Structure 1
Amino acid sequence: MRLLGLDPGLRNTGWGVIDLVDNRLRHVADGVVRSDDRLSLAERLVQLHQGVAQVIADFSPGEAAIEETFVNRNPASTLKLGQARGAVMLTASLAGLPVAEYAPNLIKKAVVGGGHAAKEQVGMMVRVLLPGCLPDTPDAADALAVAICHAHHRATFHKLAQAGGRR
Structure 2
Amino acid sequence: MRIIGLDPGLRHTGWGIVDVAGNRIVHVADGAVHSDDKAPLAERLVQLHDGLTAVLSEHRPVEAAVEETFVNKNPTSTLKLGLARGVVLLVPALAGLPVAEYGANHVKKSVVGAGHAAKEQVQMMVRMLLPGTSFSSADAADALAVALCHAHHRQTQAGMARLAAAR
**TM value normalised by structure 1:** 0.92
Distance in 2 (alpha carbons) for counterparts of 1:101 and 1:77: 21
Cross-structure match for 1:130 = 130
Counterpart Cα distance in 1 of 2:155 and 2:127 = 24
Give 3-state SS (helix, strand or coil) of 1:135's partner: coil
Is 1:88 the counterpart of 2:88 in the alignment? yes
CA distance in 2 between counterparts of 1:4 and 1:136 reads 15
What is the identity, as a one-letter code, of the residue corresponding to 1:64?
A
Moved more, 67-76 or 15-24: 67-76
Match of 1:162 in 2: none
The answer to whether the 8 A contact 1:100-1:157 is kept is no
- Contact in 2 for aligned 1:35/1:47 (Cα 8 Å): yes
Segment of structure 1 superposing worse, 53-62 or 72-81: 72-81
The number of residue pairs the alignment matches comes to 158
Q: 1:14 to 1:157 in 2, by over 3 A?
A: farther
Separation of aligned partners in 2, 1:123 and 1:98:
26
CA distance in 1, matches of 2:36, 2:111: 31
Alpha-carbon distance in 2 for matches of 1:153, 1:101: 11
Q: Which runs of 5+ in 2 are unaligned?
A: 159-167
Structure 1 runs (4+) deviating above 6 angstroms are none
1:48 matched to 2:52? The reply is: no
TM-score, scaled to structure 2: 0.92
Q: In the alignment, what sits opposite 2:165?
A: none
Amino acid in structure 1 at the alignment position of 2:117: A
Q: Distance in 1 between the 2:116 and 2:103 partners?
A: 12
Task: Return closer, same or farther for 1:157/1:66 CA change in 2, 3 Å cut-off.
Answer: farther
State the Cα distance separating 1:154 from its structure 2 match: 2.4
Partners of 1:156 and 1:68 in 2: CA distance: 20
**Structure-2 separation of matches of 1:157 and 1:11:** 34
Structure 1: which 5+ residue stretches go unaligned? 159-167
Partner of 1:101: 101
Give the corresponding residue for 2:77. Answer: 77
Q: 1:94 to 1:157 in 2, by over 3 A?
A: farther
- Measured in 2, the distance between the counterparts of 1:113 and 1:94 equals 33
- CA RMSD for the aligned pairs? 1.2
Tell me the alpha carbon deviations over residues 116-167 of structure 1, each in whole angstroms, 9 at most, x when there is no partner.
Answer: 0011110110000001111121100000000000001125779xxxxxxxxx
Computing the radius of gyration from Cα coordinates, the structure with the larger value is 2
